[in-house]
Amino acid sequence: MLAGALLTIAVTTLSASMGATWSGLLSVFPLLGIVLAVSAQRAHGADFVALLMRGMVIGRGSFASFFAVTAAMLPHYGVWLSFACAAVVSMVVQGATRRLLRAKRPVQVLTRELAEQKSAD
């Protein structure tokens, strides 16, 4: 909690000199990660935190696509349409990411099985 509070104060204090882009990036990603990691570590242990961080990294594409679509559409189409389109694009990106990750798993399992067969022979 203290680290999160200190980072929030630092980013808020330096936001005028950093600009909106950097202060926005530094306030969202590390703060969210710190709070979730600490609470997950205390509740579930280190292995859970590793899975949590992996999931957060994988989800960044969806997160980024949501805000990219929102930023592009908001000045021209208004809040409701911009956010609706951004939500749809975000879900599509997350679905595609999930599909790509699932497609790689059978190959890894097959490679492991072949390696085990070769070592048994």
Q: What is the pLDDT of residues 36-83, one digit of tens each?
A: 888 888 889 888 888 888 888 888 889 889 989 999 999 999 999 999
Residue ranges of domains in the chain: 1-44, 59-121
CA 86 to chain centre: 16
Confidence class for position 118, pLDDT limits 50, 70, 90? low
Name the one residue in this structure whose structure tokens are 């979730």: 36
Encoded tokens for 47: 């292995």
Run of H or E including 101 = helix 79-120
- Kindly report whether the global pTM for this prediction surpasses the value 0.75: no
Q: What is the mean pLDDT of residues 115-119?
A: 66
pLDDT, tens digit, 9 for 90 and up, residues 19-46: 777 776 666 667 777 778 888 888 898 8
